[in-house]
Each structure stands twice: as structure tokens, then as C-alpha cells.
Amino acid sequence: MSHAEIELKFCVPDPREFRARALAAGFALQTPRTLERNALFDTPERRLLGGRQVLRLREYGGQWVLTHKRPPAHNDDSSFYKERLETETVVSDGDAMGAVFVELGYNPVFRYEKFRTEFHDGEGALVLDETPIGDFAELEGQPAWIDRALERLDIPRDACFTDSYGRMFLDWKERTASPVENMTFDEISVATTR
């Protein structure tokens, strides 16, 4: 199923406090804190990255989801919000799907993990992502709804950003001079204890 994904992220200093704030702001818990594992696939020459596309396999809550993201045809880079066209489908065997990608020349180029908690208010989605490099929230919905949700959550617009987790990880690596290649709890935990 294809749809336009419009989203905005912001940092969360305290996940426990933020969960309480989300509930107080009228969001209902949809999915409790659950480990999510992701693998991005691309060609050796990074053809998808060059075209600003993403091919992702995600394991979340016992289910595998295959996602392809691409820029919209109008692609307004000056927008305050991040907008992508997203096509997703559930697959029964993520490992087999990954093996098919490898046979077609798409290899896993980046893995990332997070503990995700999902909230909804009937109009849009709010997720809390606890990652190995920090805690973040993301609002997904129409721009007017995102603006109202920011007000309800008391988040200033200038605290928001549109970076992907891949971009955030590369920035983190540069700031920390970390040698790790993936944003996984094990890999980052081992690197920080050395």
C-alpha cells in the first residue's frame, strides 16, 4: 500500500516523562515499548541512496514489514516537514526476503535498532523511539495536525528536525569518533565499553 508520509522529529530528554505527557495531551497508547530491528538495503554503489530512496526490512512485534520510500514528485526541499512516498507490505519471512535482495544485488548497508512506543489520537501518530544514540519522538500526519500536536505536547517548532536515523547516526559517529558501522544496541554498547 502506498501513501504520503509526512513527519517531524524532536529530541526527548526523559522517555518516562514524555510518555506521561503524551497521555495527558490526549494520545492513546497503541503499541507498548517494543524492540524494532531494521536493515537498509542498497547496491554497492549506493544507487538507492543517490536517488534519495530507502529499501528497508523491519522486524517489529513479531512481524516483518518491507518498505520502499522515495521523494514525492513535487519534492519541496524547503518544507518544514519531511515528506516521502512510502509503499509497505507485510512479508511472512524477512530472512528469505533479505536473501532475495542479496541475490538481486541489494545488500544490507545499515542496521539500526530502537525501542518504539506508539501512540495515536485518531488523526495522527506519535512514536517514542529509544535508540542507542538518544531518545526521539516523531509525529506523523498532516502538517496542520503536526502543528497542533506540537502545541499540545509543548514542543517548540525550532526544536524539530527532519533527519533520518541514518543521517543522525552519521552525525553521532562524527561527534563521537566512534568506529561502529551500525546503530544497534550491542554494537554501540561494545564500542563504548572499550
Cβ–Cβ under 8 Å, residues 55 and 98:
no
Distance CA 62, CA 28 (A): 22
Q: What is d(CA 37, CA 130) in angstroms, rounded to the nearest whole number?
A: 12
| Residue appearing with cell numbers 527532519 | 162
Q: What gap in Å lies between CA 184 and CA 32, rounded to an integer?
A: 20
Asked which of 39-43, 71-75, 79-83, 187-191 is least confident by mean pLDDT, the reply is: 71-75
How far apart are alpha carbons 19 and 169 in whole angstroms?
Answer: 24
Supply the Cα-derived Rg of the chain in whole angstroms: 17
**Three cell numbers written together for 170:** 552519521
**101, 41 Cβ separation under 8 angstroms:** yes
pLDDT per residue as tens digits for the range 91-148: 999 999 999 999 999 999 999 999 999 999 999 999 999 999 999 999 999 999 999 9
> The CATH number of 2-192 is which of 3.40.50.300, 3.30.70.330, 2.40.320.10, 2.70.150.10?
2.40.320.10
Contacts of 189 (CB under 8 A, 6+ apart): 132
User: What's the rounded mean pLDDT across residues 31-55?
Assistant: 97
Cα(170)–Cα(44) distance, integer angstroms: 18
Residue 19: closest CA among 28, 9, 10, 7: 28
H-helix or E-strand spanning residue 91: strand 82-91
